[in-house]
Structure 1
Amino acid sequence: MPTYHEIMTTDLSALTAAADRWDGMAAEFGKREAHYGRAVHGVSMGQSWQGLSADAANARFDITLEQFRAAQTEARALASLLRDAHTQFVDLRGAVRAVRQAAFDAGMRVSERGVVSHDADRQGGKGKATATDAASWQQRLDRAVRAVGDADQGAELALAAVVVDADVCDGTLNGFNSRALGDIEKYEARAADEIAMRLSGGADLPGSDIAELRRVFRDNGDDKAFSRTFLDGLGAGGTIRMTNRLNDLIHARGGKRSGDFSAIESGLARTLATATRDTRSGWYKGWRADMRKAGGERIRTAFHDGRLDKVRGYQSLVTLMGKGHGYAPQFLEDVSDDIIAAERKNPDVWDMKGPYSGRRGGWFANDPLDGVLGVMSHDPDTAAAYLKSDDRMKYLMEERDWKVVVQERDGTKVSTYSDALDADDRAGFGAALQAAATGIDPSDRHGVFVPHSKDNDAVFRSSLKYLAANGDDFPASLREPVARILVNHGDTVHAAASSVDMSDSPVPQDRLFEVMKQVSKDQHAYGELNGGLNRTMVAEIHEPGQRNPEDSLIRAGRTVGFLEGSRAQALGDPDTAAWDDKWIFDRAISYLPVGSDDVQQGFDYVTDKWLADEQQRLDERAEDRSISIYRRRNGQLMAIAGEWQKAHPGSGGFAAQTTIERASNDGLARSTGVSGQGAS
């Protein structure tokens, strides 16, 4: 592997100079071919020489003529490989230089050997770096240097392979290579295929082969030529077999090499993403057709042998996809639709002896549709485009059989088996639904509120429609994701919950109430819903330029009452409706709009009072289960009234308190009315 010093000082123009000479060599072979064809090969083709000797000579002359042509092919391929290497090395050396400059700008010194250290002599902003910073910059520089080494090994591999005669039937023992290629990555892919097929076949690879697979994926995972050549060599079925073999080595065998095989699996996933990026190509259409066949086939693996079960191709494919990212939107949609098509033919196609969740089994995508939706959740725009389809939403919400694990139940004489939900039921769907409705990747810790697109709004409204229709069959696993969706669309939810004129409500109040009621059956989901709506109500109170400021106070009261009604119906007797767990609420909600300091302070204040109300419920319930309906929300309501007075000075405190309490009762009554349990 080249050193930092070699990378920075080597004259790369020697590569292009050599390439020019090889092109010249190809031209010379072309001249020799033309001369040989006229002066030698042509003699055997004429009428003056006939018979057995002519036929024998002609056969030998044909081989020689083809060798002149093969020599031109090989020479041109060598020139192309050298230019390919030059381009790569120039780009990668530029990356090394960029890291060196960035380190210097950060107050570092980089030696001629590539050693990064803190430059204590430099002052000001550039000289405030620490030894820890130096170590971090050293790692970045080392990665850039390693990338050059990876490319160097790839070029060496290709240059060695291009001079090997690939046609064993050309009449020579080791002639010129008539099938020479001018692409380094294609040679790397062929070599990697050979190692991968041995691995998939059960061979224990030596450390050198494992290291080569890691290198080749690291160096070429974003290269289309490499990725497609590699997957062509394996085929759809071979890709699945390689995935299964890697997971057996990671999860069934384990051991010190697990990290290496995990890295190879991530590289394979990256290669898959790159190869399938152009979904309009003929290559993609052919590969998708092959995967449709392989996706439904049952295959043995060491891990699943221990469970006396087999896996299907799509389960393995989606397991692999979970190790990567950057998939084309159309590829994600195609895989999802193809899985649904398989399910429509056989609703129990993925059923396996479960469970598959947690540390021991959660890595495996036993429910491939849920798994690919989870992958899709990392691309909110794609999730929104996919789930805005009413046909797909209806299938996922109403028609699909989500019971994908088979549980054994011991009987008095014989054991019986029955379908059941997995422990991580709808985890992927919940994440995709949240991403599609909010525009935010649920896994992104730094995600922030984004304005809603038409697709986001469409998914939000479609979700309300189907989830409300589910009634008490509302999936428990969707309560928290849906709570976050409601909070993210807090303006719409607040406007609907507080609406007096039902025809003016932005979403049907009965649907909203049913969804809020079902969400409220989970303490944490209800906490996110209530806490998030506190932020929405406070933001409206502080909104500048209000023509009728009292409206914001009334709407807040009605929304609080509406929430209380949903909670009471969710938990039963409103006089004893409470949870036993201590209340914990995360105020740093990334899926809420960013507000002013006044809004944030008001939100914190109202939230504190709401949490105090909840704690009081717990205390009183523990004592005598006697909770006055008028005390249930009093602290929260009075805090909102106080915040309203702060935003609108000069208003009477008693009047504000009376107004919000009356509005809360009206909201509670409306919730009872739309639920069908009373008149509003």
Structure 2
Amino acid sequence: MPLSYQDVVGADLSSLEDVAEAWHSMGKRFGELKGNYTKHVPSALGNGNWQGEAFGAHQKAAQGTAFEFAAAKTEALAVAELLRKAHTELHRLRKAVKDLVGDAEDQGFKISSSGVATYVGSDKHEKQALRNDPDHAAAQAKAAQTWTDKITKAVEAVDEADQKAKRALTRAVSDTSPDGIGIAGFNAHAEGDLDKAGAPENTPHTKTDGWTAKGNFKANGPAAGGSLLGPGYGRQGMAKGYVDAFHVTGQGSVSKGDMKLSGIADAYGGIRGTASGGFTEQGLDGTAEGSAGLRALAEGRVESDIAGAYGRGTGFAGGEVGVNVNVGPDGFSSGGKAFAGAKATAAGGAEAGGISIGGTAEAWAGPGLEGNFIFGEKDGDGKFHIGVTGGASPIIGGKAGGELVIDPGKVADTAGDAADAVGEAAGAVKDTAADLF
């Protein structure tokens, strides 16, 4: 919660100096303790009379203790220095607030307990003029707002300094290094520079080096609903239903020129079911699926104009069933699945020149059976797919699969680009030969 005007003008900062002196004395004392401990414990026992594994373990522990004494000295002296610098900065900034208040009062303004300026005039003649001259009243009201804004800004500067001191002190007494006896000991790397130690985390960068970033986050649930879409010309009939406990999605990307890095994370819990079927220009198609449980997905991609690659991991706990069939002029595909338990999936692949290949591997804990085969177009995407996936799990098992996808449009474009490049290279060789002879 930000400091108020009253917090600033009413604060007693003198105790910071007393506390800083106490921390400094404590730091010096820790240094003395470290010297005494090193002299009277590990050194005294290192005369050769005691050897073996117990002696080695003791000496190692003693080294850790000595390290912590030294770290305690560093931490205490850093805290003392931070408190001194915080006192100096807060005292200066609070004085700036009080000086503004004094200047405003000298010019006939009264400052309320919340830091708001109001013009009250300096004598009865001016008060009379204020009542009889609307322009004068408006000018003084504007001046009062100006004083209020200046005081507010000065109070905010004190609050920012206070927050900086808080961050610095918190970091000074937090040990996140595994040295010494490990994390949660004394901080051997405590920083006494207030500006450095108190800098905000995740300081925004002003230079992007040409990279553009964007992203979004969505959270929904609980929710329930459904829909029914009748078959029509060129499309399927479909029925959907769902009961969502929650659904959270976050995604982001950075891009520069034709290079793009992107990622997505998604978590869902609930029950869903879909059924669809009908005749389309792709032939006869029917699908039915149902699932209940928890799902999570994380995916990363790197893409450019000439190639791309991805990696994906998913997890599921619950049950699911499904069946699908497609018969059409471009090929035949069919499959089915049934599963109850938990499973985790890893997938990856790459694409270049219109040809992509990918693979999946999945671990199951629970009974299940699944099989899919495809040879031809898939979901009317205009690409040629060859793929197979299969798996079984009496209790513990899994599945694996792979798929080759050919995009005729991209293959043709790549071939055209290659031909153009060969032609340009041949032309360059010809021109060079002509120049030589």
Q: For the superposition of Structure 1 and Structure 2, which TM-score range results when normalised by the shorter chain?
A: 0.3 to 0.5
Q: Greater helix share, 1 or 2?
A: 1
TM-score (norm 2): 0.44
Q: Which has the higher contact order (CA 8 A, sep 6+)?
A: 2
Which has the larger strand fraction? 2
